[in-house]
Structure 1
Amino acid sequence: MSILLSLLILIITVNGEIEIQRKLFQAQQATIGQFPYVVALKMIIGAHFCTGSIIGEQWILTAAHCLNVIPPENFTVIAGTIRLTRKKMEGYAVDNVVVNPGYIRDEEQGNIGDIGLVKIKEKFNFSKLVEPIQLGLLQNSGSMFAVGWGRVSRTSRSPVLRYVEMVNVQNSPVCVNDEFRICAKSVTGRSAAVLCSGDSGGPLVDTTTGKLVGVNSVSWAQCEGGPHPDGFIRMEAHDTWIKSYVKDAVFE
């Protein structure tokens, strides 16, 4: 391992300014094929660091803050599995990354425009375990799933894909539902916030339509749980930008 890569992994682990991981507390383990569009972004030498969603033959949607510190040649995309401890996993080399030019990092008020795209060198081998998800608008029901490869505690990294049911939050002192953001909290458990390390960039899926309506961006609880909701970037605010790159993305 090069000294530069070793330092990069260390910085990602300990530097709060480049903290790019989020987790799912109080979550259930996914079953095989339940979320075939969910992928893990994993260091070539090291652990996974973010979650993403397949939205085209060669494209993954994730959070911008997952992509602005790690060169594309230093990570790979893992698809078609719910368990990152398998000896043989379907990995895809990264060709390029695109960060939303409107992205602004703001942990206090919530990141703005926090979405990015990853293009792989070869097309995905689509199957029952690997397939794209459509993008859409959040329906009035407000019932959603947040999915990710997050930690189960600060000291315990989960190799298993997990999900949690969430509901829309209309009133919060730190997160205002608007045309750019969705605020959501867990329907179970004692705390509202459930996201932290490993889940950044993961999808927020409308349980009514099965479409991706948001991208995991920020947790005001800082991985400890708490009364405040988690923040997701709305897809309808960025559909034109996404489709300018991903020609086969479906938005309805």
Structure 2
Amino acid sequence: MLILFLTICFFTHVIIGNSTVNNELVRDKYATKKDKQVSDFHSHDLTDAEYGYVVTLVQIKQMIVTTHCTGSMIHKNWILSSAHCFYDLTKRKFYAWYGNFTVSPLVSELYSEVAKIFIHPEFLNTAFTSPGYFFGDNDISLLRVGKVSLPKYGRLSTIDHTKMHGLRVKYIGGAPKSRSDGEMRPLQIGEGVVVGCGMALTRWSKYALCVTPKCSQKLHQPLHGDMGGPFLYDGKIVGVMSSSYQIPKTLLSSNGLTPVSPYRDWVEKVRESFGKANETKTKPNDNKAR
């Protein structure tokens, strides 16, 4: 069974003016030697404005911008991403960097603060393999951000996860593909085919699906900065990048996605609940204004 996946994420360290953009794993304790090496891959720069709703989630501290994960703007105030990106980190300050990824967001001012993080209540933060990535079941999250005005927002697909096998999908990651050439680059986009992940992984994460790239390389290692990025079919979001582990005694790397179809109701419930709670809080102020 093909379970290879195309790498999108690598590290870069670029200084622009007085700001620094540092694309690296935030959780170093999960990093391995492979994480800190530049590997071969076959994605390419994203230049299509059609995918302008894909954002990079970053931390900004003392003029240093650190890439953390990737997400998709599905509304002017909402981002869809992976849960593991923010597990135990909900109190940290994150920002959505959008629009132009070849210029520091501190220069372009194209970023918006994350106001609240919603992790799926049944997210299971357990490792499938060790060492390896630690991402678990129900790996999906929503982020509430300040208004981001875009010409187009991502749309969730209605395709059921049980009917996704064999679909040719595109996937987008939020970090440059080189860390050492001194150049900031756009998001990366690749293509692949949805396949099953095998019984072991499916038992661990019931909705997990895998993607095989068009290329024949055996080792593909996406890193933390790509996680949460969208998988797209027919222009709509069918899943978010969720897991990665290396098959024991082989060079094969399996990389999983969390399909969105089982979580559409949860997404709508969170958005509606937040809206109602916000309306309740603002009612007294509205009355006073009158």
With the length of structure 2 as denominator, give the TM-score of the two structures: 0.67
Change (3 A) 1:243 1:108: same
Say which SS state the counterpart of residue 224 (structure 2) adopts.
coil
Select which of 215, 220, 237 maps to 1:188.
Answer: 215
- State the match for 1:168 in structure 2: 194
- State the match for 1:57 in structure 2: 76
Change (3 A) 1:81 1:175: farther
Contact 2:81/2:229 (<8 A) preserved:
yes
Contact 1:98/1:117 (<8 A) preserved:
yes
**Aligned-residue offset at 1:166:** 1.3
Gaps of 5+ in 2: 1-22, 130-134, 273-290
The answer to whether structure 1 residue 135 and structure 2 residue 154 are counterparts is: no
Amino acid at match of 1:107: A
Select which of 200, 204, 214 maps to 2:227.
Answer: 200
The count of aligned residue pairs is 228
Contact 2:176/2:187 (<8 A) preserved:
no
Larger Rg: 2
Matches within 5 A, 1:103-182: 103-108=123-128, 111-121=136-146, 123-127=147-151, 131-137=153-159, 139=164, 141-150=166-175, 152=177, 159-170=185-196, 172=198, 174-176=200-202, 180-182=207-209
Contact 1:220/1:228 (<8 A) preserved:
yes
**Aligned-residue offset at 1:159:** 4.3
Amino acid at match of 1:152: K
CA deviations over 1:4-44 (Å, ceiling 9, x no partner): xxxxx999342118xxx9x9942111004141120110102
81-90 or 152-161, which moves further after superposition? Answer: 152-161
Measure the CA separation in 2 of the matches of 1:196 and 1:237: 25
Between structures 1 and 2, the one with greater helix share: 2
Gaps of 5+ in 1: 1-8, 248-252
Say which SS state the counterpart of residue 53 (structure 1) adopts.
strand
CA deviations over 1:91-149 (Å, ceiling 9, x no partner): 1122111010110123316610011110013x22122xx53333332656410111111
Matches within 5 A, 1:23-38: 25-38=41-54
Measure the CA separation in 2 of the matches of 1:11 and 1:141: 32
Change (3 A) 1:112 1:118: same
Contact 1:145/1:204 (<8 A) preserved:
yes
Amino acid at match of 2:128: E
CA deviations over 1:157-203 (Å, ceiling 9, x no partner): 96430011111123646544986122112111412644223101110
Say which SS state the counterpart of residue 242 (structure 1) adopts.
helix
Measure the CA separation in 2 of the matches of 1:63 and 1:49: 11
CA RMSD for the aligned pairs?
3.3
With the length of structure 1 as denominator, give the TM-score of the two structures: 0.77
Select which of 88, 91, 103 maps to 2:108.
Answer: 88
Q: Sequence identity, in percent?
A: 21
Measure the CA separation in 1 of the matches of 2:229 and 2:268: 19
